[in-house]
Amino acid sequence: MPKHVGFVASLKENDKADVIIRPGTPGIPNAPEVSKKVCHSPTDGSTVTVEAWNRAGAQVGDRVSITQSPGILTRNAATLLGIPGIGLILGIVAGVVVYQRFGLHPTVSVIVGAAVLLLANIIAAIRYRQRSADNLPVITRIIKTREEE
């Protein structure tokens, strides 16, 4: 479960907050192999601002710990790859059925297959948007309040 430390920059509606994260080491957090391949990776002075659920009740200026659920990547991959993959298979099956059973021109079967794949992609996009609100990291605890600093 990726865990980062940052400061609450602002509070938002619906129990959310903007958190500023300053990486402790140069590079992209939790992705050292990517940091070696890109030319613009964060340096010691870099900051990243993320929106997070404020479940701990942190206030502006508090130093907090935020975590990202490890299941989010799997869920997103299943939605954005799995649904279109199923659509591809169903599109192929639908195209074959249209061609063999109804004896239509092969172009019609390709169009039917492409339409099923397009529909699957639209469903995947809609489903991803519905679930994307849950993709935010969560402030799990307050390390130091602004008064303790």
The model's pLDDT over 106-144, given as tens digits with 9 standing for 90+, comes to 999 999 999 999 999 999 999 998 887 678 888 999 998
pLDDT value at 103 more than 90? no
pLDDT at 72: 82
* Alpha-carbon gap, residue 61 to 51, rounded angstroms: 15
Question: For residues 120 and 86, is the Cβ–Cβ distance under 8 A?
Answer: yes
pLDDT value at 38 more than 80? no
**Cα of 98 vs its chain's centroid, Å:** 37
pLDDT at 47: 79
pLDDT at 69: 80
Among left, alpha and beta (phi > 0; psi -120 to 50; other), residue 63 is beta
Q: What's the rounded mean pLDDT across residues 54-70?
A: 89
3-class DSSP state for residue 62?
coil
pLDDT value at 3 more than 70? yes
pLDDT value at 43 more than 60? no
Write down the mean pLDDT value for the chain: 84
Full-model pTM: 0.61
pLDDT at 62: 92
